Structure 1
Amino acid sequence: MPHVDIKCFPRDLNEEQKTALATEITAVIVRHLQSKERSVSVALNEIEPDDWKMVWDAEIAPQMDSLIKKPGYSM
């Protein structure tokens, strides 16, 4: 705890880029939530653009009132 689950369109990141992303996200979590580095996990799930509506319908729209950063688009 905490776990960060990133969903995005495919980005073709290599392992070094993925590691850098996870390292930076982990540092932010540690700094802001006072978590221990070893407690943080990060997932990167690439979603095809044609499938994004499923993410919107299941995870974004139902939680719109509780999102701390809302998207600048709607579906």
Structure 2
Amino acid sequence: MPHVDIKSFPREFTDEQKTALAEEITQVIVRHFDSKESSVSVALNHVAPDEWKTQVWDTEINPHMNVLIKKPGYSM
């Protein structure tokens, strides 16, 4: 039951763009996890740039740097 939670700075997406993004991510997850499409869920959450450090970096990135399979190319 893979769940992908994408956090990013605010950006406007049309419904079609959101659907395309979710479909492409789903296909990658299905292929790599050998799972079914119906098992995958995808969330898109916008975080204001001035809140990124406290809401994402300090809580989800920096404390878990040792388990990230793709580390960011920036630091805070």
TM-score normalised to structure 1 length: 0.98
- Distance in 2 between the 1:3 and 1:21 partners? 14
Partner of 1:6: 6
- Alpha-carbon displacement from aligned partner over 1:5-44 (angstroms, at most 9, x marks no partner): 0000011011100000000000000001101100000000
Partner of 2:53: 53
Which letter does structure 2 place at the counterpart of 1:60? I
Structure 1 unmatched runs, 5+: none
Q: Cα RMSD over matched residues?
A: 0.5
Size of the aligned set, in residue pairs, is: 75
- Displaced runs of 4+ in structure 1, greater than 6 A? none
Does the residue aligned with 1:11 lie in a helix, a strand or coil?
A: coil
Which letter does structure 1 place at the counterpart of 2:53? K
- Distance in 1 between the 2:32 and 2:3 partners? 14
- Distance in 2 between the 1:48 and 1:65 partners? 25
Identity rate, percent: 73
- Alpha-carbon displacement from aligned partner over 1:45-65 (angstroms, at most 9, x marks no partner): 000000000210000001001
- Distance in 2 between the 1:30 and 1:40 partners? 8
Note the 1:10-21 alignment, pairs <5 A.
10-21=10-21
Establish whether residue 31 from structure 1 lines up as the match of residue 8 from structure 2.
no
Structure 2 unmatched runs, 5+: none
